[in-house]
Structure 1
Amino acid sequence: MHRNPAVHQFLLERAWDLTEEWYASLDQSKVTGIYASTDPVAIQKLKQQNFAFHEHLCEVFIKKEQEFFEDFNDWIIQIAKDSGHLDTPNYIILGEFLNVQEQYLNYIDEFVQRNEGIYSHEEANRWTRMIIKAFGNVMKRFVKENHKFSQIQLRSQQEVIRELSTPVIALQNQKGLLPIIGSVDTERAKHLLEQAISQCVEKQINHLFIDLSGVAIVDTMVALQIFHLIDALKLVGVKTTLSGIRPEVAMTSIQLGLSFNDLDIAGNLMQALKQ
């Protein structure tokens, strides 16, 4: 990179001005997510993040390229995993990167004008290319890290949803209830198997009532998983009672050759709980 301490100092001295100008330019009718926040604390945090960006970016004029990007990496990761930015669409964030890039190009023009005759057009063009290259690399690295943390957040949210959709409710006398509601695919059925066993052991349940009245459709793999669940619970000393089996679910199980002979079955949950 073509280093120039004078350009670095010029930009660094105006770092907070860059931040205030950028924030004032936000079109609140178009931005969403973190940029649309009206919370004073969130706004101040956003400005501090933007200011830190300027502190790093202007170092493109005093550091070697590898060192510059290595030092920038912590800021990129911090912003990529920031909850406010994770909740903001990427196209909005990248749009603001480009708006800030335009600020820098304007400030480079101002620097050249203030120092007319000192720097050539070739040098000014080189600085412009440096700015564009730096922004391009930072944006690519941000998108990569942001995607990684978005996937982590998504998996975490899915795990919470799965846990909430597999609630083993502790009743009296070491009994428990597992109401299965909604569609059950193979993945959810597998999760039911894992969670039900661990929750029964954790809550010291020895008799689990599994209510299927909220399940309308059961495919081959799901039916097998339910039977596997019953067998697995038996191995850890938990008796099971099925209730609310719909006719279509019963037909599917029979067609699969699954036997209900050894199972404790009740017509509905109320009947099961009276046992």
Structure 2
Amino acid sequence: MNKQMARYIQENMTEIISNWQEMMKNEKSERSFEVMPAELMDQTSREFAELMTSNLLESHQAYESRLNDFAEKVVRYGWSITFVTKAINHFGEIVFNGMERDGIITNENLRGFTEEFNKWITPIRDSTIDTYSKTWERTVSLQKIALQELSASLIPVFDKVSVMPLVGTIDTERARLIMENLLEGVVKHRAEVILLDITGVPVVDTMVAHHIIQAADAVRLVGAKCMLVGIRPEIAQTIVTLGINLNEFTTTSTLQRGVEQALAWTNRKIVEVDEE
């Protein structure tokens, strides 16, 4: 029966893929197919169909290799695990209905084919979800590490003046990392003024403000001043609306103004030099 199923899929691949794409496009809660270029969608659909068929024909090792490659792609494309599950179920449904329509599946062999379809779909669904989950966790972990490395470094810009650009959402774990890097950087660079640049922070709520205030307090304890820069108008409005107290901060709208103020605090200033 496995060979019959595989042969049917191979002989009717174009029709199966077309019907499958239509079913996936009709999943209103998912927009994965809507945002994919047509050429990429066709390529991915064929790879998915070949993956489903390889489970019937290829060795376990070859199937696992194909499965890992496909899981990495769909994670990168933004397919949710729900979308992947529906994709597998819909593919099996289309093949079953097609074989039934063409008289391959009859009342006499219905029970046997039903068991074979369950033996085919259930393992491939379980293995795909497991591989997808591991790939997703690994991807998220790598992205988190990369974001932490990019957004929690103290950068010396002038003698005694350093900047820490913050990028992305600040949660408790990132706040801890920011605090550690901030204090280590102050001591390492002998900084007297620290500019916390929140230009890349999309939302400043009470929790984010609390973490920033804690970081500023820690900086003051080691003998340096802290300035908050990059406050966009919408962030300023949010801070006022939430009643967040930043009175102990010097704040500026841009990093440039912050640098000018930091230089003033260290008895320096930027001057223009006339060209002779």
Aligned-residue offset at 1:100: 0.8
- In structure 1, how many angstroms separate the alpha carbons of the residues matched to 2:73 and 2:172? 33
Opposite residue 141 of structure 1, the aligned amino acid is S
**Structure 2 CA distance for partners of 1:43 and 1:15, relative to 1, 3 Å:** same
Structure 2 counterpart of 1:101: 92
Aligned Cα root-mean-square deviation (Å): 4.3
How far, CA to CA, are the matches of 2:216 and 2:74 in structure 1?
A: 39
Task: Give the aligned residue type for 2:154.
Answer: V
Say which one has the larger Rg: 1
Which residue of the other structure, out of 39, 42, 62, is the alignment partner of 2:40? 42
Secondary structure of the 2:32 match is: helix
Offset, 1:136: 1.2
Q: How does 1:114-263 map to 2 (within 5 A)?
A: 121=108, 123-172=109-158, 175-178=161-164, 185=172, 187-194=174-181, 207=191, 209-211=193-195, 216-217=209-210, 241-244=224-227
SS of match in other structure, 1:34: coil
Instruction: State the identity %.
Output: 10
Q: Secondary structure at the residue paired with 2:194? A: strand
Any conservation in 2 of the 1:170–1:177 contact (CA below 8 Å)? yes
Q: 2:267 aligns with which of 256, 260, 274?
A: 274
Q: What TM-score comes out, normalization by structure 2 length?
A: 0.62
| 1:15-57 per-position Cα deviation (integer Å, ceiling 9, x unaligned) | 2331122123433571634322341332132222123124314
Please name the residue that 1:22 is paired with.
20
* Partner SS, residue 36 of structure 1: coil
Q: CA separation in 1, counterparts of 2:9 and 2:148?
A: 50
Give CA-to-partner distance per residue, 1:228-260, whole Å, 9 cap, x none: 9x5xxxxxxxxx7323496779xxxxxxxxxxx
How many angstroms apart in 1 are the aligned matches of 2:177 and 2:164? Answer: 15
Q: SS in structure 2 opposite 1:26?
A: helix
Q: Distance in 2 between matches of 1:184 and 1:11?
A: 48
